[in-house]
């Protein structure tokens, strides 16, 4: 639907399209630049938020440890998870949990 008002005969409905496309391109570039950092950040968040043996899950191994052979024994040191689980609630009692 193309709307041309009487008071603006030279009205173009998409005059901001180049600007919008430029910003959308920048947003896409930012997502691509963030992807390598986000992979590491997601792995770190697993230590803080998930169960302690997530590293040995088949999905996690395929996602974070590609090309690494599995060891003969599986050990889990969950100090980061324990710290967050025990001390975190007292430190961040009033802070809401925000996940994007």
pLDDT of residue 89: 74
Asked if residue 60 lies in contact with residue 46, where contact means CB atoms within 8 angstroms, the answer is yes
Taking CA atoms, 47 is separated from 13, 68, 83, 93, 96, in Å, by 50, 19, 10, 20, 20
Torsion of CA 40, 42, 46, 47, to 10 degrees: 40
User: Looking at residue 52, what is its pLDDT?
Assistant: 64
pLDDT tens figures, 14-62: 778 889 899 999 999 999 999 888 888 887 777 777 666 777 777 777 7
Residue-level pLDDT at 9:
62
pLDDT per position as a tens digit, 62-91: 777 777 887 788 777 777 777 777 777 777
CA distance 67 to 60: 12
């Amino acid at each position: 639907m193309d709307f041309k008002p009487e008071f603006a005969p030279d009205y173009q409905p998409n005059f901001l399209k180049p600007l919008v496309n430029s910003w959308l391109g920048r947003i896409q570039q930012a997502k691509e630049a963030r992807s390598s950092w986000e992979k590491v950040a997601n792995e770190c968040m697993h230590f803080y938020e998930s169960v302690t043996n997530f590293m040995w899950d088949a999905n996690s191994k395929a996602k974070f440890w590609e090309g690494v052979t599995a060891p003969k024994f599986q050990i889990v040191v969950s100090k980061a998870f324990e710290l967050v689980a025990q001390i975190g609630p007292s430190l961040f009692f009033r802070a809401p949990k925000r996940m994007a």
